[in-house]
Amino acid sequence: MQSKLSDFYVFTKDDVENFARLYFDRRIKQDRLHPILNEVAVRFNELPKERKEEFKKLLQSYVRLYAFLSQVIPFTDAGLEKLYAFGRMLLRKLPITKDRLPTEIMEQVDMDSFRVQLISDKGIKVDEGVRELKPITDLGTKQYLNGEQEVLSKIIQDINDRFGTDFNESDRVIAQQLQIRIESDPSLATSAKINSKNKLKLTFEHLFNDKLQEIIDEHFDFYKKVNDNQAIKEALVAKMFEAIYEKLAQI
């Protein structure tokens, strides 16, 4: 798969090496990675449509396969790890193509036949007085238990006390969102059923990194606080994993 990806000539070996040199250097800011990825994305856009789809599907398959195999196989090829890190972030740069409906379906839709029609016009009676507004718990929403909030608050406080950091209430909310994203990923529950705790933690670490990357644009400050200090990141991963593992063990 590594060889087939190279045959597209979208990226070079130097692109991957230059990216990896910056990516694995904790002293380097993440924004220095974007020029490398942007240049590769330009080459990708120059491909014919069919080749774009082939390349993107192959890169997605490589990233998923490497993430899975690396949990059970001790790789010694640094080039595969570098390409994994490079490919995972490059996929975020590649444009999403939305397929149009087939022409024969579009022709069957007669937009002239649609109209807006008032079905009814009724008043809504509201009782006077003060009432308690209860939170919505149905229709796909989920209440986050106070106990879990307290666990995350304690995790944040422990990290602040240990490392002298300034994680605040907003950071706790972001960490809560991050934890929900990880818990909602089906691969975690699947791994929990078939793997030991140590192997499950490997799955968790991969998910943590993936979900942390996903929030980089909307929560960049939180991302930098966590990602720029390996010791802080490892502590947060360890504590959050233990909290989630306790929940999975009860299922």
Integer angstrom CA distances of residue 81 from 23, 54, 74, 88: 12, 22, 11, 11
User: Residue 129 is which amino acid?
Assistant: G
Please give the chain's pLDDT, 251 residues, in tens.
Answer: 999 999 999 999 999 999 999 888 877 777 788 899 999 999 999 999 999 999 999 999 998 888 778 767 777 788 998 999 899 889 988 876 655 555 555 555 554 555 666 666 666 676 777 777 665 444 333 444 456 678 888 899 999 888 888 898 888 889 988 998 898 888 888 888 888 888 889 889 989 988 888 888 788 888 888 988 888 999 999 999 998 888 877 65
The structure's pTM equals 0.47
Hey, what's the torsion of the CAs at 139, 176, 183, 63, to 10 degrees? 120
Residues 6+ apart with CB under 8 A from 56: 91, 94
Distance CA 202, CA 70 (A): 9
